[in-house]
Amino acid sequence: MDTSSYKPGLEGVIAGISAVSMVDAEKNELLYRGYDIHDLVEHCTMDEVAYLLLYGELPDEATLEAFNQRIRMDREVPPALYDLFRALPNTAHPMDRLKAAVALLATFLPEDETNLRKAERLYAKLPTLVCASWRISQGQEPVVPDPNLDHSASFFHLLTGTPRTDYLAHVFNVTQILYAEHGFNASTFAARVTVSTLSDLYSGVVSAIGTLKGPLHGGANEAAMEMLQEIGSPENAQEWVRDALVQKKKIMGFGHREYKHGDERAKIVKGYAKELAERTGNALWWEISEIVEAEMLAAKKLHPNLDFPVASVYYLMELPIPVYTPIFVLSRITGWSAHIIEQLENNRIIRPGHLYNGLEKRSLAPR
């Protein structure tokens, strides 16, 4: 069997053409629809970036106001979704609860709407689902969405009952922008594969949520924080990493298939992580993280990816660790939807071949 054409994990294989985003590994650049992420986090809200990814251009003031009105008035979800959350085990992972919720939600929404409108509805409703699911699992009642709040303020309101418009809300906005889109990543590709069969957008999103749950993808932010907690103190960090490497354990939040010289998104969030440590007076996670980064660079020449600094940033925001990956979904829904729409515009079913390494042809003896 000739395996010279085989690329494990499809590494380096070009699987499509997209205008949604560009990752330039050599320049360490990430562009959304041509805009550099540094400019977007500096000047835009997540709502503006959501519009950009879905519609291809940044909105002018009037267009943004109309978009915001549609989103803010569409945050409510059918009561049956709350009943679902109450029926599911409280111990179920929030991503599993979210998969079930999106599948059920799809049955209540109009089938004949455009995919753009369906994408808007999911961008509006997913924060309500994520926060209500968590609150119900903790024995609390869901919070009624407030149409007067923007994306970040509304998230904190739905999760805690109190909106935030302070520095924490700003940092949350930055992380949402940075999580929104990233080329043909695993969950995006899963969504494109699903809709390439001419299945619907909601099914593509359910596929993507299931893919994102994995600790080698979106679940890495949860795993990274749990790792930092296990390390416990700066004094333990160096030895912990060295022992883990000897045991060939996966160090969560490090390395990236595309970035070889460091993830620009991680560099951006790292600056906020340092400032949050200073503002909160809690430098523990920053200090541990710095040692872990130094050890990984020295031993493996690996840089942190976005999930590593986001983990401690969310922890300092007092966000529950099991909700970290669902928070990822709240923004990535825009990238997923943009790719789903793009896939269907010039669709061909995604169906790769494979190499067979099983038994040679054999005969079945008469019985």
Distance between CA atoms of residues 8 and 20, nearest Å: 25
Nearest-angstrom CA–CA distance, 2 and 17: 28
Q: Which listed residue (151, 182, 256, 303) is catalytic?
A: 256
Q: Any catalytic annotation for residue 93? A: no
- 95 Cβ neighbours under 8 A, 6+ residues apart: 209, 210, 212, 213, 219, 325, 326, 329
Q: Is 256 a catalytic residue?
A: yes
Catalytic pick among 157, 303, 307, 339: 307
Would you give the DSSP letter of residue 304? B
Are the CB atoms for 327 and 272 separated by under 8 Å?
no
Long-range contacts of 149-157 (CB under 8 A, 24+ apart): 149/72, 150/45, 150/47, 150/68, 151/45, 151/46, 151/47, 151/50, 151/71, 151/127, 151/176, 152/45, 152/46, 152/176, 154/72, 154/75, 154/127, 155/127, 155/131, 155/327, 155/330
Options 217, 263, 303, 339, the catalytic residue: 217
- How far is Cα 221 from Cα 94, in angstroms, rounded to an integer? 14
Catalytically active residues are 217, 256, 307
